[in-house]
Protein backbone atom coordinates (compact mmCIF):
# COMPACT_ATOMS: atom_id res chain seq x y z
CA UNK A 1 0.00 0.00 0.00
CA UNK A 2 1.24 3.45 -0.85
CA UNK A 3 1.43 5.33 2.41
CA UNK A 4 1.85 8.68 0.72
CA UNK A 5 -1.40 8.22 -1.19
CA UNK A 6 -3.19 6.92 1.90
CA UNK A 7 -2.04 9.93 3.89
CA UNK A 8 -3.33 12.30 1.20
CA UNK A 9 -6.64 10.47 1.02
CA UNK A 10 -7.14 10.58 4.78
CA UNK A 11 -6.24 14.26 4.96
CA UNK A 12 -8.76 14.93 2.21
CA UNK A 13 -11.33 13.03 4.28
CA UNK A 14 -10.51 15.19 7.28
CA UNK A 15 -10.85 18.36 5.19
CA UNK A 16 -14.24 17.22 3.94
CA UNK A 17 -15.41 16.68 7.51
CA UNK A 18 -16.06 20.23 8.67
CA UNK A 19 -16.83 20.35 12.40
CA UNK A 20 -20.14 21.74 13.54
CA UNK A 21 -20.23 25.26 14.98
CA UNK A 22 -23.37 24.56 17.02
CA UNK A 23 -23.43 26.28 20.39
CA UNK A 24 -25.33 24.62 23.25
CA UNK A 25 -28.39 26.44 24.47
CA UNK A 26 -27.65 29.28 26.90
CA UNK A 27 -23.96 28.56 26.82
CA UNK A 28 -23.13 32.25 27.29
CA UNK A 29 -25.21 32.26 30.50
CA UNK A 30 -23.18 29.36 31.81
CA UNK A 31 -19.91 31.19 31.11
CA UNK A 32 -21.19 34.40 32.68
CA UNK A 33 -22.39 32.54 35.77
CA UNK A 34 -18.94 31.00 36.05
CA UNK A 35 -17.27 34.39 35.71
CA UNK A 36 -19.52 35.94 38.34
CA UNK A 37 -18.97 33.06 40.76
CA UNK A 38 -15.21 33.44 40.68
CA UNK A 39 -14.12 34.91 44.02
CA UNK A 40 -12.13 38.09 44.01
CA UNK A 41 -8.42 37.66 44.62
CA UNK A 42 -7.71 37.75 48.33
CA UNK A 43 -4.12 38.83 49.05
CA UNK A 44 -4.24 37.26 52.53
CA UNK A 45 -5.26 33.91 51.07
CA UNK A 46 -2.48 34.10 48.48
CA UNK A 47 0.03 34.92 51.20
CA UNK A 48 -1.20 32.03 53.36
CA UNK A 49 -1.00 29.63 50.43
CA UNK A 50 2.55 30.76 49.66
CA UNK A 51 3.52 30.23 53.30
CA UNK A 52 2.08 26.71 53.31
CA UNK A 53 3.96 25.90 50.12
CA UNK A 54 7.18 27.16 51.67
CA UNK A 55 6.85 24.90 54.71
CA UNK A 56 8.37 21.74 53.19
CA UNK A 57 11.42 23.44 51.60
CA UNK A 58 12.07 25.34 54.85
CA UNK A 59 11.88 22.17 56.92
CA UNK A 60 14.17 20.40 54.47
CA UNK A 61 16.74 23.19 54.60
CA UNK A 62 16.55 23.25 58.42
CA UNK A 63 17.15 19.50 58.62
CA UNK A 64 20.11 19.69 56.26
CA UNK A 65 21.66 22.61 58.18
CA UNK A 66 21.09 20.87 61.49
CA UNK A 67 22.72 17.72 60.16
CA UNK A 68 25.71 19.64 58.84
CA UNK A 69 26.08 21.59 62.07
CA UNK A 70 25.73 18.84 64.64
CA UNK A 71 27.09 15.72 62.99
CA UNK A 72 30.86 15.33 62.74
CA UNK A 73 31.64 14.93 59.09
CA UNK A 74 34.20 12.27 58.05
CA UNK A 75 37.53 14.01 57.44
CA UNK A 76 38.48 15.05 60.96
CA UNK A 77 42.24 15.16 60.39
CA UNK A 78 44.29 14.50 63.47
CA UNK A 79 45.93 17.58 64.95
CA UNK A 80 44.33 20.03 62.56
CA UNK A 81 41.86 22.45 64.07
CA UNK A 82 38.27 21.98 62.96
CA UNK A 83 37.03 25.32 61.58
CA UNK A 84 34.26 26.85 63.61
CA UNK A 85 31.17 26.96 61.40
CA UNK A 86 29.86 30.15 62.98
CA UNK A 87 33.14 31.96 62.36
CA UNK A 88 33.33 30.82 58.78
CA UNK A 89 29.75 31.89 58.24
CA UNK A 90 30.43 35.30 59.79
CA UNK A 91 33.55 35.81 57.68
CA UNK A 92 31.68 34.95 54.55
CA UNK A 93 28.87 37.35 55.35
CA UNK A 94 31.20 40.18 56.28
CA UNK A 95 33.70 39.59 53.49
CA UNK A 96 32.30 42.31 51.26
CA UNK A 97 32.20 44.92 54.02
CA UNK A 98 35.76 44.02 55.08
CA UNK A 99 36.94 44.55 51.52
CA UNK A 100 35.14 47.88 51.41
CA UNK A 101 36.91 49.01 54.59
CA UNK A 102 40.26 48.08 53.05
CA UNK A 103 39.52 50.12 49.91
CA UNK A 104 38.45 53.11 52.00
CA UNK A 105 41.76 52.90 53.91
CA UNK A 106 43.62 52.76 50.63
CA UNK A 107 41.96 55.85 49.20
CA UNK B 1 -27.37 50.73 34.38
CA UNK B 2 -27.53 52.70 37.60
CA UNK B 3 -31.26 52.03 37.94
CA UNK B 4 -30.59 48.36 38.58
CA UNK B 5 -29.04 49.26 41.94
CA UNK B 6 -32.04 51.24 43.09
CA UNK B 7 -34.80 49.65 45.18
CA UNK B 8 -37.43 47.99 43.05
CA UNK B 9 -40.18 50.44 43.95
CA UNK B 10 -38.05 53.44 43.04
CA UNK B 11 -37.09 51.90 39.73
CA UNK B 12 -40.71 51.21 38.90
CA UNK B 13 -41.67 54.78 39.74
CA UNK B 14 -38.87 56.17 37.63
CA UNK B 15 -39.93 53.99 34.74
CA UNK B 16 -43.55 55.09 35.06
CA UNK B 17 -43.00 58.83 35.28
CA UNK B 18 -39.62 59.57 33.84
CA UNK B 19 -39.00 57.52 30.76
CA UNK B 20 -35.38 57.77 29.67
CA UNK B 21 -34.63 59.00 26.19
CA UNK B 22 -33.56 56.30 23.70
CA UNK B 23 -29.99 57.61 23.64
CA UNK B 24 -29.67 57.17 27.39
CA UNK B 25 -30.05 53.39 27.16
CA UNK B 26 -27.71 51.58 24.82
CA UNK B 27 -28.50 47.88 24.60
CA UNK B 28 -25.38 45.73 24.61
CA UNK B 29 -25.92 44.55 21.04
CA UNK B 30 -25.89 48.10 19.71
CA UNK B 31 -22.61 49.03 21.33
CA UNK B 32 -19.48 48.64 19.30
CA UNK B 33 -17.11 45.80 20.00
CA UNK B 34 -14.50 48.20 21.37
CA UNK B 35 -17.04 49.63 23.83
CA UNK B 36 -18.07 46.15 24.96
CA UNK B 37 -14.45 45.14 25.47
CA UNK B 38 -13.68 48.34 27.40
CA UNK B 39 -16.68 47.72 29.67
CA UNK B 40 -15.68 44.09 30.20
CA UNK B 41 -12.14 45.17 31.12
CA UNK B 42 -13.69 47.35 33.82
CA UNK B 43 -15.34 44.20 35.19
CA UNK B 44 -18.78 44.48 33.61
CA UNK B 45 -19.46 40.83 32.84
CA UNK B 46 -22.81 41.63 31.16
CA UNK B 47 -20.94 43.46 28.39
CA UNK B 48 -19.03 40.29 27.73
CA UNK B 49 -22.18 38.36 26.80
CA UNK B 50 -22.63 39.75 23.24
CA UNK B 51 -19.01 38.86 22.52
CA UNK B 52 -19.57 35.29 23.71
CA UNK B 53 -22.71 35.02 21.58
CA UNK B 54 -20.98 36.37 18.49
CA UNK B 55 -17.77 34.35 18.58
CA UNK B 56 -18.76 31.09 20.29
CA UNK B 57 -19.67 29.26 17.04
CA UNK B 58 -16.16 29.83 15.72
CA UNK B 59 -14.55 28.73 19.00
CA UNK B 60 -16.77 25.62 19.17
CA UNK B 61 -15.83 24.63 15.61
CA UNK B 62 -12.15 24.96 16.52
CA UNK B 63 -12.49 22.99 19.76
CA UNK B 64 -14.35 20.17 17.97
CA UNK B 65 -11.27 19.58 15.84
CA UNK B 66 -9.30 18.57 18.93
CA UNK B 67 -11.80 17.04 21.34
CA UNK B 68 -14.12 14.14 20.62
CA UNK B 69 -16.59 14.24 23.48
CA UNK B 70 -19.07 17.09 23.60
CA UNK B 71 -18.40 17.51 27.31
CA UNK B 72 -14.71 18.08 26.59
CA UNK B 73 -15.54 20.55 23.83
CA UNK B 74 -17.72 22.58 26.17
CA UNK B 75 -15.02 22.59 28.83
CA UNK B 76 -12.45 23.83 26.33
CA UNK B 77 -14.69 26.64 25.07
CA UNK B 78 -15.58 27.66 28.61
CA UNK B 79 -11.89 27.77 29.46
CA UNK B 80 -11.23 29.93 26.39
CA UNK B 81 -13.84 32.47 27.46
CA UNK B 82 -12.67 32.56 31.06
CA UNK B 83 -9.10 33.14 29.92
CA UNK B 84 -10.32 35.76 27.46
CA UNK B 85 -12.11 37.65 30.23
CA UNK B 86 -9.11 37.45 32.55
CA UNK B 87 -6.63 38.55 29.88
CA UNK B 88 -8.85 41.08 28.16
CA UNK B 89 -6.72 43.98 29.38
CA UNK B 90 -3.82 42.58 27.32
CA UNK B 91 -5.85 42.98 24.13
CA UNK B 92 -4.61 46.21 22.56
CA UNK B 93 -7.12 46.51 19.76
CA UNK B 94 -4.46 46.60 17.03
CA UNK B 95 -5.72 43.37 15.43
CA UNK B 96 -9.36 42.24 15.25
CA UNK B 97 -10.68 40.75 18.47
CA UNK B 98 -11.46 37.51 16.63
CA UNK B 99 -7.76 36.97 15.81
CA UNK B 100 -6.77 37.51 19.42
CA UNK B 101 -9.51 35.15 20.57
CA UNK B 102 -8.58 32.43 18.08
CA UNK B 103 -4.96 32.53 19.25
CA UNK B 104 -6.25 31.95 22.75
CA UNK B 105 -8.52 29.15 21.50
CA UNK B 106 -5.77 27.32 19.63
CA UNK B 107 -3.41 27.53 22.62
CA UNK B 108 -6.13 26.27 24.95
CA UNK B 109 -6.78 23.34 22.60
CA UNK B 110 -3.07 22.58 22.58
CA UNK B 111 -3.02 22.59 26.39
CA UNK B 112 -6.00 20.21 26.32
CA UNK B 113 -4.19 17.84 23.94
CA UNK B 114 -1.13 17.81 26.17
CA UNK B 115 -3.20 17.18 29.29
CA UNK B 116 -5.13 14.27 27.74
CA UNK B 117 -2.35 12.65 25.74
CA UNK B 118 -2.22 9.31 27.57
CA UNK B 119 -5.98 8.72 27.64
CA UNK B 120 -6.27 9.11 23.89
CA UNK B 121 -3.46 6.72 23.01
CA UNK B 122 -5.09 3.98 25.05
CA UNK B 123 -8.60 4.60 23.73
CA UNK B 124 -7.82 4.48 20.01
CA UNK B 125 -5.74 1.57 18.97
CA UNK B 126 -8.01 -0.89 17.18
CA UNK B 127 -9.45 -0.58 13.70
CA UNK B 128 -13.16 -1.36 13.25
CA UNK B 129 -14.51 -3.67 10.52
CA UNK B 130 -15.74 -0.75 8.41
CA UNK B 131 -12.37 0.94 8.56
CA UNK B 132 -10.68 -2.32 7.72
CA UNK B 133 -12.92 -2.72 4.66
CA UNK B 134 -12.19 0.83 3.56
CA UNK B 135 -8.46 0.14 3.83
CA UNK B 136 -8.91 -3.04 1.79
CA UNK B 137 -10.74 -1.08 -0.90
CA UNK B 138 -7.99 1.52 -0.87
CA UNK B 139 -5.30 -1.16 -1.15
CA UNK B 140 -7.11 -2.74 -4.13
CA UNK B 141 -7.96 0.48 -5.95
CA UNK B 142 -7.08 3.79 -4.25
CA UNK B 143 -9.39 5.84 -6.48
CA UNK B 144 -12.42 3.72 -5.49
CA UNK B 145 -12.05 4.41 -1.78
CA UNK B 146 -14.01 7.60 -1.21
CA UNK B 147 -12.73 10.23 1.19
CA UNK B 148 -16.36 11.05 1.95
CA UNK B 149 -16.85 7.64 3.55
CA UNK B 150 -17.55 7.61 7.27
CA UNK B 151 -14.88 4.96 7.74
CA UNK B 152 -12.24 7.25 6.24
CA UNK B 153 -13.23 10.04 8.61
CA UNK B 154 -13.11 7.68 11.58
CA UNK B 155 -9.74 6.38 10.47
CA UNK B 156 -8.17 9.81 10.17
CA UNK B 157 -9.61 10.68 13.60
CA UNK B 158 -7.87 7.61 15.03
CA UNK B 159 -4.59 8.53 13.36
CA UNK B 160 -4.78 12.07 14.73
CA UNK B 161 -5.63 10.74 18.20
CA UNK B 162 -2.41 8.74 18.23
CA UNK B 163 -0.22 11.68 17.27
CA UNK B 164 1.72 13.86 19.68
CA UNK B 165 -0.05 17.11 20.66
CA UNK B 166 2.33 19.29 18.61
CA UNK B 167 2.08 16.96 15.62
CA UNK B 168 -1.69 16.88 15.72
CA UNK B 169 -1.94 20.65 16.08
CA UNK B 170 0.35 21.23 13.10
CA UNK B 171 -1.38 18.68 10.87
CA UNK B 172 -4.78 20.13 11.76
CA UNK B 173 -3.77 23.72 11.09
CA UNK B 174 -1.53 23.11 8.08
CA UNK B 175 -3.12 20.20 6.23
CA UNK B 176 -6.74 20.19 7.31
CA UNK B 177 -7.49 23.88 7.84
CA UNK B 178 -4.91 24.74 5.13
CA UNK B 179 -3.38 27.67 6.94
CA UNK B 180 -0.03 29.19 6.01
CA UNK B 181 3.13 28.70 8.05
CA UNK B 182 3.05 32.36 9.06
CA UNK B 183 -0.54 32.10 10.25
CA UNK B 184 0.31 29.01 12.28
CA UNK B 185 3.27 30.80 13.83
CA UNK B 186 0.97 33.63 14.89
CA UNK B 187 -1.70 31.31 16.23
CA UNK B 188 0.62 29.07 18.21
CA UNK B 189 3.24 31.58 19.27
CA UNK B 190 5.97 29.38 17.77
CA UNK B 191 8.65 30.78 15.47
CA UNK B 192 8.38 30.18 11.70
CA UNK B 193 11.41 27.81 11.62
CA UNK B 194 9.96 25.86 14.56
CA UNK B 195 6.64 25.49 12.74
CA UNK B 196 8.48 24.19 9.66
CA UNK B 197 10.47 21.68 11.69
CA UNK B 198 7.37 20.51 13.54
CA UNK B 199 5.43 20.22 10.28
CA UNK B 200 8.13 18.00 8.82
CA UNK B 201 8.17 15.83 11.94
CA UNK B 202 4.36 15.70 12.06
CA UNK B 203 4.08 14.41 8.49
CA UNK B 204 6.70 11.77 9.25
CA UNK B 205 4.90 10.84 12.46
CA UNK B 206 1.60 10.48 10.66
CA UNK B 207 3.18 8.26 8.03
CA UNK B 208 4.72 6.13 10.76
CA UNK B 209 1.35 5.66 12.46
CA UNK B 210 -0.25 4.72 9.14
CA UNK B 211 2.55 2.24 8.47
CA UNK B 212 2.01 0.66 11.88
CA UNK B 213 -1.74 0.54 11.33
CA UNK B 214 -1.51 -1.16 7.95
CA UNK B 215 1.64 -3.22 8.46
CA UNK B 216 0.03 -6.52 9.36
CA UNK B 217 -2.39 -6.79 6.48
CA UNK B 218 -1.26 -4.75 3.56
CA UNK B 219 2.50 -4.46 3.54
- Tell me whether residues A5 and B142 touch, CB distance under 8 A: yes
Q: From the CA of A34, how many Å to the nearest CA of chain B?
A: 8
Q: What is the pLDDT of residue A107?
A: 60
| Contact by Cβ (8 Å): B44, B62 | no
Q: How far apart are CA B55 and CA A27, in angstroms?
A: 12
Q: What is the pLDDT of residues B202-215, one digit of tens each?
A: 999 999 998 888 87
Is B45 touching A (CB cutoff 8 A)?
yes
Q: What is the pLDDT of residue B14?
A: 41
Question: Which residues, in sequence order, are CB contacts of A66 under 8 Å at separation 6+?
Answer: none
pLDDT above 90: percentage of residues in chain B: 49
Is A22 touching B (CB cutoff 8 A)?
yes
| Contact by Cβ (8 Å): B37, B84 | no
Handedness of CA A23, B66, B55, B5 (dihedral sign): positive
- Tell me whether residues A20 and B60 touch, CB distance under 8 A: yes
What is the pTM assigned to this prediction? 0.68
- Tell me whether residues A3 and B64 touch, CB distance under 8 A: no
Q: What is the pLDDT of residue B124?
A: 53
Chain center to CA of A22: 41
Q: What is the mean pLDDT of chain A?
A: 82
| Contact by Cβ (8 Å): A14, B160 | yes
Least confident of A12-26, B2-16, B120-134, B194-208: B2-16
Q: What is the pLDDT of residue B206?
A: 93
First to last CA, chain A: 85
Q: What angle do CA A67, A70, A71 make, to 5 degrees?
A: 70
* Helices vs. strands in chain B: H and E counts, helices first: 11, 0
Residue B132 has pLDDT above 90, yes or no: no
Residue A74 has pLDDT above 90, yes or no: no
Amino acid sequence: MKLEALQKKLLAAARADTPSDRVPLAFEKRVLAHLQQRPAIDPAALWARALWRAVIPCVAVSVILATVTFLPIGNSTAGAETPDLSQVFEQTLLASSAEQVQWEDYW
Amino acid sequence: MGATNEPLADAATAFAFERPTPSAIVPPMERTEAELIAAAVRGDTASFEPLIQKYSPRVFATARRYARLEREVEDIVQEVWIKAFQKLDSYRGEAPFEHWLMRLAVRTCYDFLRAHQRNREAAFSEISDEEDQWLERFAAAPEDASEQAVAAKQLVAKVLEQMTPAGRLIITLLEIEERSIKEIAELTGWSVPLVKVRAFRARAEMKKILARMTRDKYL
